[in-house]
């Protein structure tokens, strides 16, 4: 699943570079906050980023997923809080499609 991880990290990096000019993103820090208290993304940023990730995964892996779902919202730990949680959640979505 390293390819999936790279796709997600590339999307986050691109989003930070394009939309959050003053916010650095360390692509090696999977524990980095994304959303919520102390995270750099607001709700609109998060929605746009998730759509970009969904589109890139479909383009590169041929798998159609929906990240922002009831399944995501009902988790005890939100998959949107940290990079590693998002990667784990998306990997699970992809594995469930197989």
Q: Assign residue 16 the CATH number of its domain.
A: 1.10.1200
DSSP assignments along 4-18, one per residue: HHHHHHHHHHHHHHH
Owning domain of residue 52: 2-97
- Residue 19: CB atoms within 10 A of its CB come to 14
What does the pLDDT look like over 49-69, one tens digit per residue? 999 999 999 999 999 999 998
Q: Helix (H, G, I), strand (E, B), or coil: what is residue 41?
A: strand
State how many domains the chain has.
1
- Residue 78: CB atoms within 10 A of its CB come to 16
Interacting residues of 13 by C-beta distance below 8 A, sequence separation 6+: 25, 27
What does the pLDDT look like over 4-39, one tens digit per residue? 999 999 999 999 999 998 889 999 999 999 999 999
């Amino acid at each position: 699943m390293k390819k999936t991880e790279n796709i997600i990290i590339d999307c986050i990096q691109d989003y930070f570079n394009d939309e959050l000019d003053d916010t650095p993103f360390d692509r090696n820090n999977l524990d980095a906050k994304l959303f919520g208290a102390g995270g750099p993304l607001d709700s609109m940023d998060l929605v746009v980023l998730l759509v970009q990730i969904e589109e890139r995964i479909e383009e590169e892996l041929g798998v159609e997923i929906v990240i922002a779902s009831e399944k995501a919202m009902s988790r005890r730990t939100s998959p949107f809080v940290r990079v590693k949680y998002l990667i784990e959640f998306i990997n699970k979505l992809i594995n469930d499609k197989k």
